[in-house]
Amino acid sequence: MTIRSTGGRIAAYVWLVFAALNILDLVVGITGDATYSLTAFTIAVLLLLGCGIAYTVGLRPAIIGDETAVTVRNPLREARAPWAAVREIEGTNAVTVRFDGPDGQELQTRAWVHQTSPRAQAKAEARARKEPGRVPASALKGRTPAAYAAQQLNEIRERQRARARSGAPGKAAEAKAERAAATGTVTWSVPAVASLAVPAVALVALVITGAVT
């Protein structure tokens, strides 16, 4: 199961196409003469910085649940926890995963995807009350996209636990040891950081160069 923001991805792809066309125009000169001035380089770097933001905010964030673990990809960081290490998955205004980390410490990650404000949820319930022919407001109470995502993840988690319990008796001790040793991790995403840091450093260098000259 993979959950992403459709709106964020569309906006990101629109920006990437826009940036690519403008950079191509600067290099080739589609709408005019190609220019390699300091101003042109600065515009190109700004467009690349925008591409980095589009990637980290629009394309990268996701919640992924597979047979072995749950992965929460946020703009700059990524948390991955084997199902055996997961303590709790909640979905209120955002999907929150609590899991065992290294050295027995408890770690928690909050997903960037499917964040919903209490005000937005109250509006959804108010719309449901005005349209009695649709889903009852009582069924929507607390039923945010984050809550539904958490429910799906918990179902995957329970299926994996049931599969582990249904194994041969001789493997029960082995499965228990694996659960005790299972730990999740939270790491920085090198591509995401680089997509912002590289154009940002280049932009600073260009600004300094322009100030000196």
Question: Are 110 and 194 in a shared domain?
Answer: no
Question: Are 147 and 122 in a shared domain?
Answer: yes
pLDDT in tens, 20-44: 999 999 888 777 777 788 999 999 9
Q: Is 69 within a domain?
A: no
Question: Are 84 and 123 in a shared domain?
Answer: yes
Higher per-residue pLDDT: 200 or 173: 200
Q: Is 68 within a domain?
A: no
Q: Is 149 within a domain?
A: yes
pLDDT in tens, 101-113: 988 889 999 999 9
Question: Are 99 and 195 in a shared domain?
Answer: no
pLDDT in tens, 123-139: 655 665 565 555 454 44
Q: Name the pLDDT band for 65 (thresholds 50, 70, 90).
A: very high
What value does the CA radius of gyration of the chain take, rounded to a whole number of Å?
23
Res 163: pLDDT: 76
Structural domain total, the chain: 2
Q: Is 82 within a domain?
A: yes
Q: Is 185 within a domain?
A: no
Share of the chain above pLDDT 90, in %: 58
**Rounded-to-integer distance, Cα 174 and Cα 34, Å:** 66
**Rounded-to-integer distance, Cα 130 and Cα 134, Å:** 9
Average pLDDT over residues 3-13: 95
Higher per-residue pLDDT: 16 or 105: 16
Question: Are 145 and 199 in a shared domain?
Answer: no
Q: Which residue range is the domain that position 150 belongs to?
A: 76-180
Q: Is 205 within a domain?
A: yes
Question: Are 194 and 153 in a shared domain?
Answer: no
Res 17: pLDDT: 97
Average pLDDT over residues 161-190: 71
Distances (CA, A) of 171 to 163, 167, 177: 12, 6, 10
Q: Is 27 within a domain?
A: yes
Question: Are 92 and 174 in a shared domain?
Answer: yes
CB–CB of 89/150 below 8 Å?
Answer: yes
